[in-house]
Amino acid sequence: MKKRNKFKHFVYLLLALAMLLYALPKLSLGAESGFVFGFGIAWCAFAFLVIAAHLHFILGVDEEKTKRLEAVRKAKLDRWQGKWKEEESVTQRS
């Protein structure tokens, strides 16, 4: 499952790079100002954000953080289930 998920992100990364390389020559990023220049800069910024997000996932930068968060979630669930069972046993005694 993990490899397939990374493969999907790798394909999306390649598509985003191809889209950026195709669009860069067509975008007007010259010294002129105005709406066209602003659109070109914003479009490139969003494209770079997409590329960075896929690289972040592919490189596995936050795998350790994900493991720690999963441990915290499991501990909270165990604590919640313990309280629920305790309340259930108290109500059954009454």
- Quick: pLDDT tens for 3-27: 777 899 999 999 999 999 999 888 8
CA–CA dist 55, 86 (Å, integer): 46
pTM above 0.75, yes or no: no
Question: pLDDT digit string (tens) for 45-86?
Answer: 999 999 999 998 888 777 778 888 899 999 999 888 888 777
> Residue 27: which of 2, 45, 8 has the closest Cα?
45
Instruction: Give me 37's structure tokens.
Output: 């220049």
